[in-house]
Amino acid sequence: MLIEYIQSILLIISSILIIISAIGVLSLDKDTKNVVYARIHIFGVFDIACVLAMIGLGQYLLAIIYFIIAPFTAHAIANSYYKSEDVKNNLELLNSDIVEEDNPFIHSKSKIQALESEVNISEKVKVDDRFSVSTFEINEEE
């Protein structure tokens, strides 16, 4: 009887934490500095709520595994964002072009804009703030 009350209390606490973390994620502005790191921090609260819920449901082994793996995944996400896209904080990316020149399928935004200004191909090339996508037609005649 006492174990059922403890499990119910853990489920209530975890549901409250999940609601709080959902409100936190939804209230963040996209223009906030370091918004990716803030979201990862908020999802840490969500992870603890999930561990409490698993304990409340009697899934102890799953809770332990999730408790161990969740920080590693959060660190991997933050590290990969820092190494690849975080131009504001990573000084190596601040002055360099992210796009590799060896790849014939990926071109930087400045290169596409230069090509677009030389030749009027604005219908075939769409430029975005983050990346560029160019399309072309292929005719497969036999």
Residue-wise pLDDT for 62-97, tens only, equals 999 999 999 999 999 888 888 887 777 777 766 555
Residue-wise pLDDT for 45-63, tens only, equals 899 999 999 998 999 999 9
User: Residue 62: inside a domain, yes or no?
Assistant: yes
User: Residue 136: inside a domain, yes or no?
Assistant: no
User: Residue 85: inside a domain, yes or no?
Assistant: yes
- As a whole number of angstroms, the longest Cα–Cα distance in the chain is 77
User: Residue 57: inside a domain, yes or no?
Assistant: yes
User: Residue 120: inside a domain, yes or no?
Assistant: no
Does residue 36 carry a pLDDT above 70? yes
51: containing domain: 1-95
* Structural domain count, the chain: 1
User: Residue 122: inside a domain, yes or no?
Assistant: no
User: Residue 101: inside a domain, yes or no?
Assistant: no
